[in-house]
């Protein structure tokens, strides 16, 4: 009887060993297939990353090579000269650069506080039945093409400003030093201020949407604790919500700033396209993208075309610097948080 039991155990062990030996090739095949798939996936992702870098490098090389004739002809004076005269082939980038920076700055000064307040209202104060309609309206603003903003700004918004806001600003600040120059008339309707307001409307949905998402991520216990010790709604927003979500908020602001710096068609319609620098934000001006859009198809001669490409290179550099500053700020915040 014991020998029969031993024989049975031996048979079972031998059978299991035979099964494992039979399954070994199939397991090896599966592992080989998995390793092959993993290696292929690694190659695909690395290739995609390299393609992105190659595209970026190609853009930089094309801009630099195309702008070389302009910089050879004018040198660094191209960055400081205001004149833009295709007839005499005298070109300077100062007026478009000034218009780009000023319109973007004014737009962000308007859009950032408004966007943050709207996002906080949607997450904390808005009734539940009203949150969805306002959220949909914000998303629709983000989806409207820029040329529609430009047409609306030219035929509706600019005449409205010419008849209402601009005369009010001229009369209100006309006797105050410095401000009288910033808001000097006459009210043209189109101009730097109009373009800035259009840009503020265009970047507002991006700032609001991202801020609303990060505000929703704040743990309710933090806000409840702040309310529990007697904080007001404003104090909760300033001392709890904003510090907790500052990384996401800065990311949303920089995304909106990038959109404002590079916006073309809407600004082209309402800024006036005047290559001159004026202390008044009510006067017409131009931006880099508007100048390129207006004149590239009409550019005659290598120097004219090269000057427009040089404007594109300057805009690329400005955008790169802005993104680098944003990344540096985020790194410092993350390092401080730990």
Residues 27 and 133 in one domain: no
CATH assignment at residue 254: 1.10.3720.10
Q: Which of 74, 92, 116 corresponds to the end of one domain?
A: 74
Q: Measure Cα distances from 175 to 4, 170, 179, 180, 181 in Å.
A: 116, 9, 8, 6, 10
> What pLDDT score does 143 carry?
83
- Spell out the residues 6+ positions from residue 77 whose beta carbon is closer than 8 angstroms to its own: 92
State the Cα–Cα distance between residues 289 and 141, nearest whole angstrom: 22
Residues 25 and 82 in one domain: no
Residues in the chain where the model's pLDDT stays below 70: 1-25, 336-338
The count of domains in the chain is 2
Residues 10 and 141 in one domain: no
Residues 93 and 239 in one domain: yes
- Domain with 82, as residue range(s), is 76-337
Residues 59 and 113 in one domain: no
State the Cα–Cα distance between residues 271 and 199, nearest whole angstrom: 11
Residues 70 and 161 in one domain: no
- Evaluated on CA atoms 99, 254, 196, 199, the torsion sign reads positive
> What pLDDT score does 107 carry?
94
Tokens representing 314 are: 């300057």
Q: Which of 74, 98, 116 corresponds to the end of one domain?
A: 74
Q: Is 323 exposed, middle or buried (0-12, 13-18, 19+ CB in 10 A)?
A: middle
Residues 62 and 132 in one domain: no
> What pLDDT score does 68 carry?
92
Q: Which of 57, 74, 91 corresponds to the end of one domain?
A: 74
Other C-beta atoms closer than 10 Å to the C-beta of 171 total 11
State the Cα–Cα distance between residues 264 and 323, nearest whole angstrom: 19
Residues 105 and 231 in one domain: yes
Residues 86 and 70 in one domain: no
Closest CA to 102 of 280, 234, 333: 280
Residues 34 and 98 in one domain: no
Residues 123 and 256 in one domain: yes
Residues 63 and 81 in one domain: no
> What pLDDT score does 29 carry?
76
Q: Measure Cα distances from 168 to 183, 188, 304 in Å.
A: 10, 13, 40
């Amino acid at each position: 009887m014991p020998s029969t039991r031993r024989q049975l155990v031996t048979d079972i062990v031998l059978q299991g060993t035979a099964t494992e030996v039979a399954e070994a090739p199939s397991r090896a095949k599966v592992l080989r297939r998995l390793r092959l798939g993993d290696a292929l996936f690694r190659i695909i992702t690395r290739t995609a990353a390299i393609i992105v870098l190659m595209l970026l490098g190609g853009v930089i090389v094309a801009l630099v090579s195309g702008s070389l004739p302009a910089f050879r002809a004018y040198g660094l004076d191209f960055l400081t000269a205001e004149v833009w005269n295709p007839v005499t082939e005298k070109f300077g980038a100062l007026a478009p650069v000034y218009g780009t920076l000023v319109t973007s700055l004014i737009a962000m000064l308007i859009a950032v506080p408004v966007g943050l307040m709207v996002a906080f209202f949607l997450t904390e104060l808005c009734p539940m039945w009203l949150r969805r309609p306002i959220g949909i309206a914000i998303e629709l603003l983000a989806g409207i093409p820029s040329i529609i903003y430009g047409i609306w700004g030219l035929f509706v918004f600019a005449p409205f400003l010419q008849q209402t806001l601009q005369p009010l600003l001229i009369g209100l600040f006309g006797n105050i030093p410095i401000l009288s120059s910033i808001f000097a008339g006459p009210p043209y309707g189109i101009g730097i201020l109009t373009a800035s307001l259009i840009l503020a409307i265009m970047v507002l949905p991006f700032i609001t949407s991202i801020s609303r998402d990060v505000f929703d991520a704040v743990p309710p216990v933090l806000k409840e604790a702040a309310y529990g010790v007697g904080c007001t709604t404003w104090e909760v927003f300033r001392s709890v919500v904003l510090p907790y979500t500052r990384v996401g908020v800065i990311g949303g602001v920089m995304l909106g700033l990038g959109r404002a710096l590079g916006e073309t068609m809407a600004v082209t319609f309402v800024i006036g396209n005047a290559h001159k620098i004026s202390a008044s934000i009510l006067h017409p001006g131009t931006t880099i993208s508007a100048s390129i859009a207006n004149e590239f198809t009409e550019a005659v001669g290598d120097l004219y075309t090269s000057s427009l490409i040089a404007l594109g290179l300057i805009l690329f550099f400005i955008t790169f610097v802005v993104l680098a500053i944003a990344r540096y700020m985020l790194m410092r915040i993350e390092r401080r948080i730990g």
